[in-house]
Amino acid sequence: MRWWRIGNVVLIILVLPLVIYLLNRVLAALERIRHASDQIVASGAELVSDLDGLPEALATTDETIKDVSAGAARYGDSVAKLLS
């Protein structure tokens, strides 16, 4: 019975404060992560308004790519004729 009491005292004096300390560190890190994720969500909501003209810009980009690829094909054909 005496060893049982000594074990309980060791548990209360040594182990319990260590567990509380480690739990406090984990919870503090969790709070920092939560704060950072809240900032990311807020910044993402602000960026949505910047994407209003995106479909038109992508359509223009697609047209430009088609024009450039057609020109590159013509250039490649001309170079092939010169080299043969």
- pLDDT, tens only, 9-36: 888 898 889 999 999 999 999 999 999 9
Give the contacts of 22 (CB within 8 A, at least 6 positions apart).
none
Indicate whether 40 and 28 sit together in one domain. yes
Indicate whether 3 and 37 sit together in one domain. yes
Predicted local confidence at residue 37, as pLDDT:
95
Predicted local confidence at residue 18, as pLDDT:
92
**Lookup: tokens for 38:** 């809240």
Residue with tokens 């969500």: 41
Indicate whether 47 and 61 sit together in one domain. no
Predicted local confidence at residue 80, as pLDDT:
81
Q: Which domain holds residue 11?
A: 1-51
Indicate whether 38 and 5 sit together in one domain. yes
Confidence of residue 40 (pLDDT cuts 50, 70, 90): very high
- pLDDT, tens only, 58-77: 899 998 888 888 777 777 78
Indicate whether 29 and 18 sit together in one domain. yes
Q: How many domains does the chain have?
A: 2
φ/ψ (deg, to 5) at 53: -90, 10
pTM for the whole structure: 0.49
